[in-house]
């Protein structure tokens, strides 16, 4: 039997998906599991999104559409940048993608050539590293620490021979953000070094400056040539609809359009019509955000009382990245036992940091307040 390619074989598993499968197997056997493993908003999409999709089913052809995306959606995204950040972005620079995942594939293949070096902060979202490996690009790990809020700095850019730097703010798994002035300094350093900057902003709008977190800023405020990636999955609660977007410099539009035409043809039309309505659903979405804020405050107060007391304050997103080294030096085994014995599913830090992640777990607080209280109750007994 012929083997898989070396490129495919080098891609590591996304361990959170393995945990989802383990939890689902336990549930099929009758277990009650509290899901804190996956970064997925609870409750499904807003009512306006559902109604827009139903209307599109009745009125629209829902065939192939422009590879760059429906023009009304691109225009609405451009308006979003003006309303939210006071940044003028031409709709022509916006590409609608099949989730942010497709945007990363387009960015990596469209911006870099085989063997070029891309800097990634560690810990970080594992799919970055794995997509880069699958596209024959070299990952340069930039270790970060809790003391520096898990963020890369200017000193991590200079003299490293990087061709690109990818930064997420808010970050997954840590929830930390770069202050606007630090983001501006990092972009300036990249410009001086000839390093292309890719900004993952999929957790924008899920920020907690009211509770002491950093202010939200887009890379486009400081460098119009930055490649910015965002998604309707997180704040807009549309994970399964697989629709995201990217903002690119003008000279990248046509090359990325050609890539998109050949790789994906177009993002599903029904998802794009639904996403257009998501911008008008802020009242409902902000109500959900208020629940996340309540969960965040509860966990940050209660986890230390049960012994999980080492984590960085969360500026954005809906994750706590906790040091559990007082309990284990094998967080993969720790999370596996936790879901089986306590009925709480979390994610091993090895997903985000292959070297030091054995001492950490990621906990999502995107569920209900009742689930968060029950999770803490179960973990208190289990620990």
Topology given in CATH for the domain delimited by 6-45+282-382: 3.90.1150
Residue 329: count other Cβ atoms within 10 Å of its Cβ: 10
- Contact present, 186 and 141 (Cβ < 8 Å): no
Q: Could you list the beta-strand ranges (E) of 123-236.
A: 138-143, 164-168, 196-200, 227-231
Per-residue model confidence (pLDDT) at position 145: 87
Per-residue model confidence (pLDDT) at position 211: 62
- What is the H or E stretch that residue 322 is in? strand 319-323
The three-point CA angle 75-80-84 to 5° equals 160
204 CB contacts (<8 Å, ≥6 apart)? 84, 170, 216, 218, 230, 235, 316
- Contact present, 126 and 352 (Cβ < 8 Å): yes
Helix, strand, coil shares of the chain, percent, nearest 5, are 45, 15, 40
Per-residue model confidence (pLDDT) at position 213: 61
- Point out the residues of the chain with pLDDT beneath 70: 210-213
First-to-last CA distance in the chain? 47
Per-residue model confidence (pLDDT) at position 76: 98
- What is the H or E stretch that residue 287 is in? helix 282-302
Topology given in CATH for the domain delimited by 48-278: 3.40.640
Per-residue model confidence (pLDDT) at position 212: 61
Question: What is the domain partition of the chain in residue ranges?
Answer: 6-45+282-382, 48-278
Q: Distance between CA atoms of 280 and 275, rounded to whole angstroms?
A: 10
pTM of the shown model? 0.94
Residue 17: count other Cβ atoms within 10 Å of its Cβ: 13
Q: Distance between CA atoms of 81 and 233, rounded to whole angstroms?
A: 18
Q: Could you list the beta-strand ranges (E) of 144-283.
A: 164-168, 196-200, 227-231, 244-247
- Contact present, 292 and 206 (Cβ < 8 Å): yes
């Amino acid at each position: 039997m012929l083997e898989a390619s070396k490129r495919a074989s080098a891609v590591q598993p996304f361990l959170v998906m393995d945990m989802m499968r383990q939890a689902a197997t336990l549930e099929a056997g009758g277990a009650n599991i509290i899901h804190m493993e996956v970064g997925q908003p609870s409750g499904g999409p807003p009512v306006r999104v559902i109604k827009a999709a139903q209307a599109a089913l009745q009125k629209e052809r829902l065939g192939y559409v422009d590879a760059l995306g429906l023009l009304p959606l691109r225009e609405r995204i451009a308006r979003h940048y003006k309303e939210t950040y006071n940044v003028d972005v031409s709709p022509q620079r916006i590409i609608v993608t099949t989730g942010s995942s497709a945007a990363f594939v387009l960015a990596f293949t469209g911006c870099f050539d085989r063997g070029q070096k891309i800097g990634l902060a560690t810990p970080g979202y594992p799919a970055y590293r794995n997509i880069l490996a699958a596209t024959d690009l070299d990952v340069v790990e930039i270790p970060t620490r809790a003391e520096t809020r898990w963020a890369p700095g200017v000193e991590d850019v200079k003299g490293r021979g990087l061709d690109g730097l990818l930064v997420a703010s808010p970050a997954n798994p840590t929830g930390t953000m770069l202050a606007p002035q630090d983001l501006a300094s990092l972009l300036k350093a990249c410009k001086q070094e000839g390093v292309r900057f890719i900004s993952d902003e999929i957790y924008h709008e899920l920020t907690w400056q009211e509770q002491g977190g950093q202010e939200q800023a887009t890379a486009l405020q400081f460098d119009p040539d930055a490649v910015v990636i965002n998604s309707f999955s997180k704040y807009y609660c549309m994970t399964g609809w697989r629709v995201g977007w990217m903002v690119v410099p003008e000279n990248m539009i046509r090359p990325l359009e050609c890539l998109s035409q050949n790789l994906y043809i177009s993002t599903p039309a029904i998802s794009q019509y639904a996403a257009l309505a998501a911008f008008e659903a802020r009242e409902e979405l902000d109500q959900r955000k208020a629940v996340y804020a309540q969960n965040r405050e509860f966990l940050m107060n209660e986890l230390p009382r049960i012994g999980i007391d080492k984590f960085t304050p969360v500026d954005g997103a809906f994750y706590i990245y906790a040091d559990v080294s007082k309990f284990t030096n094998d967080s993969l085994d720790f999370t596996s036992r936790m879901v089986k014995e306590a009925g709480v599913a979390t994610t091993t830090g090895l997903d985000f940091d292959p070297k030091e992640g054995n001492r950490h777990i990621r906990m999502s607080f995107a569920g209900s307040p009742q689930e968060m209280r029950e999770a803490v109750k179960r973990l208190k007994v289990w620990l």
